[in-house]
Amino acid sequence: MEKLRLFGREKIFTNLSAITLENVIAEINRVLKKHYNNMVEIDYLERYVKGDQPILERKKDVRPEICNKIVINNASMVVNFKNGYFLQKPASYVSRRADEDVIEKVRQLNDWNYLSGKHEADNSVINSFHTSGLGVLYVQPTDSDDVPYETYSVDPKTTFVVYSLRPGNKPMMGISLAIVDDTLHVDVYTKENVFRLKGMPISKATLDAGITSLDLVVNEITEVLPNTIGAIPIIEYTYNSNRVSAFESAIDIMDDINAMESNRADAVEQKVQSLMILYNCELKDGVTANQIRKAGYIELKNVGDNKADIKILNDELDQTQTQTTLDSLYEQMLDKCGVPSSIRDAGSSSDNVGAVYLRSGWAMADTNARNTEDEFIRSSKYYNEVILSILAKRFGFDIKASDFELKIVRNDTNNMLLKTQVALNLRELGFSPELTFERSSLSGDPVNDVKMSQKYIDMKWENNEEFEYSEVENPTIGF
């Protein structure tokens, strides 16, 4: 696999204020050319995570028969860690209002999301944007009252979103493309319409060789339908604002690690299969080097008065220095990817839990996860717009987007002693139960948890003492 230089997936924009019958073909042909580069890069990154990495194309000029190609698939390790750490439990909605009606509607939303396959789709989308920088959800209304919509994770190579160049960069259209019966078909979703387009037939030879940007051309509108949802049902999710994958910033280091491990294996093999040097001797007539190699021994014959001799060419690789270099590269790779290190925790120390948390990289992992969480919640607002539109049209389901928010719970049992101590201090300061639960990170859904535990909280929070506050003139704080 030829190595690519990667700098994140391009965000595609349009300067059109509306997509219409008159401009849709020209605009789609323009954006498909731009998306082709993203398709190539996403395919490269997906194959990289699966183990198809540049080291497999390694060649040697000296002793080409000893050419190990070792893939230390650190990219897969990074993606697997990120997937498990970011979403330890299914993301769910929580109420932002202490209102019984709102709480019940939020509970119903969570039930519909569960039935729609949203939790499984989230896992797939997260794996996708950790792998390639982009993940895409597609929402489809159904005829069922029990499951009014279905949620799918779709391939970011064939489905993407085009954004407006105007301030705010709102989505202008979602595009899904497929090759059916050797012909390119493209569905274009705007808030008002769904355009179905197709291009010229593509030859089998072209498909076998791999399509290029020149093949991504449409020339006919086959159907125009109204968008009954009133929202774009394709939503893009990103790992971060640069639209890079979780391991992309360290991909060169990963390639260097593969190269060093391959050279290391070569050194061991070359030690076993060391070259021989013959001094002052000649081989019997007809004896070749390959015959010597197969037989495993040679017979020497002196040349004149000079004594024949044989030596083994043996120059061992310094394994200690090599391991030091590898450890350094590995640590740099983990730092760039925001993955905790086990090497830094080797041995014993007297550090407290907080120091270990910082030193071993868990604090950096949590920071990266929080940044990704912000991106995930931002995209989820477009998802909320889609499902609320479907539910309003189907059932007259009335809830505002400001009444609830998406909550991603992570490490909810970590530092429980510290969290409870903070909660007790906040209670003594007079904070409400909802604020106390939220600020101390004891609960991912403080409004609902307080409601469920209300009678027990009333018993603990009950305090009949009256506090007297006295005014102090010119108060100062001293140390």
Q: What is the pLDDT along the chain (479 residues), one digit of tens a residue?
A: 778 999 999 999 999 999 999 999 999 999 999 999 999 999 999 999 999 999 999 998 877 888 889 999 999 999 999 999 998 888 999 988 888 899 899 999 999 999 999 999 999 999 999 999 999 999 999 999 999 999 999 999 999 999 999 999 999 999 999 999 889 999 999 999 999 999 988 888 888 888 888 889 999 999 999 999 999 999 999 999 999 999 999 999 999 999 999 988 888 777 666 556 665 666 666 667 666 666 555 566 666 666 666 666 566 667 778 888 899 999 999 999 999 987 665 555 555 555 666 667 788 888 899 999 999 999 999 999 999 999 999 999 999 999 999 988 876 666 777 778 888 888 888 888 888 877 777 777 777 777 778 777 777 766 534 434 444 444 443 33
Nearby residues of 261 by Cβ (< 8 Å), 6 or more positions away:
70, 72, 326
CB 152 within 8 Å of CB 137: yes
Residue 303: count other Cβ atoms within 10 Å of its Cβ: 12
What are phi and psi for residue 248, nearest 5 degrees? -60, -35
Question: In terms of Cα–Cα distance, which of 154, 193, 151, 197 is closest to 172?
Answer: 193
Residue 113: count other Cβ atoms within 10 Å of its Cβ: 21
The per-residue pLDDT for 312 is: 61
What are phi and psi for residue 259, nearest 5 degrees? -65, -45
Residue type, 373: E
Residues linked to residue 277 through DSSP beta bridges, in sequence order: 311
Q: Whole-prediction pTM value? A: 0.82
Question: In terms of Cα–Cα distance, which of 132, 92, 135, 100 is closest to 116?
Answer: 92
